[in-house]
């Protein structure tokens, strides 16, 4: 996946999260959306029910991802995962 494609997907996920917040007023997702402009953040992802949200970060900056995990830890449990990619 190209960087441009990753940014488009992250932008779509962020818009969807914003719509979820408009509809439900979910405070967790509202706080996550406030971090969408932080360095290294590509976007914000939420699950269907809104009980789980995620900051989508670039894999290139591991240190930035670790800093973000420490900062948002007060919102709840932090889980770090990596995207699996098929190599062609």
Judged against a pLDDT cut of 70, whether residue 82 lies above it is answered with no
Instruction: Name the band, by pLDDT with cuts 50, 70 and 90, for residue 77.
Output: confident
Give the three-state DSSP class for 4. helix
Q: CA of 76: how far to CAs of 9, 51, 52, 88, in Å? A: 25, 11, 10, 37
Contact at 8 Å (CB) between 50 and 42?
Answer: no
| Those residues with Cβ within 8 angstroms of residue 71's Cβ, 6 or more apart along the chain or in another chain | 35
**Per-residue model confidence as pLDDT tens digits over 36-71:** 888 888 999 998 888 888 888 877 677 877 887 787
**Per-residue model confidence as pLDDT tens digits over 9-38:** 999 999 999 999 999 999 989 988 998 888
Instruction: Name the band, by pLDDT with cuts 50, 70 and 90, for residue 78.
Output: confident
Q: What is the dihedral of CA 69, 72, 77, 78, to 10 degrees?
A: -20
């Amino acid at each position: 996946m190209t960087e441009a494609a990753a940014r488009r997907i992250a932008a779509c996920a962020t818009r969807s999260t914003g719509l979820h917040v408009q509809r439900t007023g979910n405070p967790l997702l509202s706080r996550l959306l406030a971090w969408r402009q932080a360095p290294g953040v590509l976007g914000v992802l939420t699950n269907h029910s809104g009980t789980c949200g995620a900051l989508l970060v670039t894999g290139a900056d591991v240190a930035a991802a670790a800093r973000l995990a420490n900062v948002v830890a007060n919102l709840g449990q932090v889980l770090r995962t990596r995207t699996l990619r098929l190599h062609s």
